[in-house]
Chains A and B, each alone.
Chain A
Amino acid sequence: MTKTFSINKSTKEEYEKAKRKTFAENVIFNVLNFIILSFLVVITLYPFWNTIAISFNEGLDSLRGGIKFFPRVFTWQNYKAVFATGAIFNAFKVSVVRTVLQTALSVFLTCMLAYALSRKDFVLRKPLTAVLVVSMYVSAGLIPGYFLTRQLGLLNKFAVYIVPNLIDVFNFILVRTYINGLPDSFVESARIDGAGEFRIFLQIIMPLIVPTIAMIALFVAVGAWNSWFDTYLYASGKVNLHSLQYVLMEFLQSSQNQSNSAADVGALAMAGAGSASAMVTPVSIRTAITVVATVPILLVYPFMQKYFIVGISIGGVKE
């Protein structure tokens, strides 16, 4: 570390002494730090790495156990079986469409709302913001929510994935905070030029808040991709609306409580096996679905990292 200030001789000596004394502490600290953080990295990655290895290993061979970092008998069979199963392929499609639609709509509407409520001269700013913020803490609960969804006629419809999830108030706050941090002059000059509010939002604000858009898009997309409970509650009655996570959940459930629904596993494994080969097992299929359900996220989030770090810091402090 460079010192930019001058210090007199006696303090300097003391400083040197302290420096020598802390040298040992420094070394020990760095070693311990290295060990702890390496441990963190290993335990974070291992379960997933192991799953990938098993997903590329031949099903029957996996049953022998002992697969750790690399597949023993490499095969694509599990993935072929997964995509040969119409149900899983359909679930994959449902998840993709849902994620894309929900993300696009939710991000656009959330940003528009955030822009409108970031205008300090807007007369309705305070009451409307209050309605939104309070709604973060009040929750009617599972049953009343279910009744509302049913009354709106959304049960067992694809719309149930989109309609109730258009605005996330937390994301709204992130975007609004970001817009508030922009200089007012952008909006003012556009107003002088006679631009309407919607046009200002679309042509001036949107390009300026791209980092925040990237961040909340990631949040919404991950939430949409990972959700299974709305399928469970609202759309489980319709097989072609089942999402990938829901199918995976059913799969996990049935392989856990074998007594309950061993039939399900059998059916799914057979469906997969029928077309491809008899070498797939519930475990190998499960690991393959897990990988399929995770890879899209793995491909996206590292690139979004710089955005969400800033956003979370804002959200954590300013909420």
Chain B
Amino acid sequence: MKNNQLKKDSEISPVYINKKKTFWQLLFTQRQLVLMSLPLVIYVFIFKYVPLWGWTMAFQDYKPAKSFFEQHWVGLKWFAFLFKDKEFLLTLRNTVCMSIISTVLGYITAILIAVLLNEVKHIAIKRFIQTVSYLPHFLSWVIVTGLVSTMFSVEDGTINNILMSLGLLKEPILWLSEPNYFWSIIGWTYVWKEVGWNTIVYLGAITAIDPSLYEAAEIDGAGRMGKIFHVTLPGIRSTIIIMMIMSAGHILDANFEMPFFLQNGMIQDVAQTIDLYVLRYGFSSFNYALATAAGIFKNVVNIALLLLANQIAKKSGEERLI
């Protein structure tokens, strides 16, 4: 490595031989790499960081017609408004509940299915089940929501049909207009869509477990369940924890599409999320300042929770993300 570096340098200018280069000299030698990366990073900077400037709106009585210097600064007025606004507090509750229900259900089912799939010894069958279970991940939420509304429909909906033919229901239920069921429907739809996909990480972690551990457990008299509880699950523990830390940063990102598509008057109180609140205040009422404030709140809480989860994992000597 060093040799050919020297050789190349000597071709450019013999002066650089045996001389430590300054930053700028190195940068010049690497100008091709700079050209290949810097413009793209600047691009990311423009689309990801420059809009952060817009956060100033949340601290102003923002009027689109005025320039930045003419805006009236109001401090934390909009944040104070948010926490007095019953509607916002409701959306906050809905968001947190929906995302916790979905995340927890998603975890348990993904780990369960991964473990069960791992126990399928017939490769072709395992492959088939996996291929099928990945399918919904690739469908858009638009399509999934369409399927959900068909399946849960009152008129000839599959769910109602099955429950009625089993004698569990006398007459069809309006599933999608019933506040009590809404969060569960969101949660189980998430499971339906993502469970196969979510197993990939755990299956990958399971393959990394040392096979001799299973043999040892077998000799000690462990059955199938014993091996699952004493070898497989402890073996993927660090993966489980990393995935938990990562999802901690998404507590306020409840599913956007399902509540957006399925909201109706009867379930309004449970279906409104922060994202919908931002959308409504931003684009229907044009209260940009308030909508931005709600967005900031969401992002800041997400990052704080991510760092907190990471810190807790670090303190207790677990695997961590950052």
Contact = CB atoms under 8 A, between A and B. Distances in A.
A233 B35 CA distance: 33
Given A37-B129, A257-B264, A44 B142 contact: no
B299 to A, nearest CB: 5
A309 B200 contact: yes
A28 B16 CA distance: 74
Interface string B249-275: 100000010000110100000000001
Contacts of B249: 137
Contacts of B75: none
A30 B7 CA distance: 64
B150 A51 contact: yes
Contacts of B69: none
A44 B132 contact: yes
Given A43-B192, A135-B49, A167-B43, A116 B37 contact: yes
Given A36-B116, A248-B146, A290-B146, A316 B243 contact: yes
Interface string A118-137: 01011110001001100101
Please indicate which of the listed interface residues B54, B140, B306 has the most CB atoms of chain A within 10 Å of its own CB: B140
A21 interface: yes
Interface residues on chain A, size class: 35 or more
Interface residues of B, number: 102
Contact of B303 (A109, A137, A198): A137
Given A147-B51, A249-B142, A301-B138, A169 B133 contact: no
Interface stretch (B79-87, B97-105, B288-296): B288-296
B162 to A, nearest CB: 10
Contacts of B117: 37
Contacts of B23: 123
A164 interface: yes
A304 to B, nearest CB: 10
Contacts of B49: 131, 135, 138, 140
Contact of A117 (B37, B52, B134, B264): B37
A40 B113 contact: yes
Contacts of A167: 40, 43-44
B234 interface: no
Contact of B120 (A37, A116, A196): A37
Interface string B272-298: 000100110011000010011001101
B265 to A, nearest CB: 9
Contacts of B43: 166-167
Given A26-B224, A66-B156, A131 B32 contact: no
A13 interface: no
B44 A131 contact: yes
B71 interface: no
Contacts, number: 270
Given A40-B113, A44-B192, A197-B36, A138 B139 contact: no
A175 to B, nearest CB: 13
Contacts of B30: 119, 121-124, 197
Given A40-B129, A41-B133, A293-B143, A29 B225 contact: yes
Contacts of A146: 282
A253 B224 contact: no
A142 B303 contact: no
A297 B139 contact: yes
Contacts of B196: 40, 44
B223 A140 contact: no
B204 interface: yes
Contacts of A148: 46-47, 50-51, 54
Given A18-B221, A131-B45, A222-B138, A143 B54 contact: yes
A302 B205 CA distance: 22
A238 interface: no
9 contacts: A37-B113, A40-B132, A115-B36, A124-B38, A140-B49, A141-B278, A226-B140, A245-B140, A312-B200
Given A167-B40, A245-B142, A252-B142, 16 more contacts: A21-B223, A40-B133, A41-B133, A44-B136, A51-B147, A109-B40, A124-B37, A135-B44, A135-B49, A141-B278, A142-B278, A144-B57, A226-B141, A301-B134, A309-B203, A319-B246
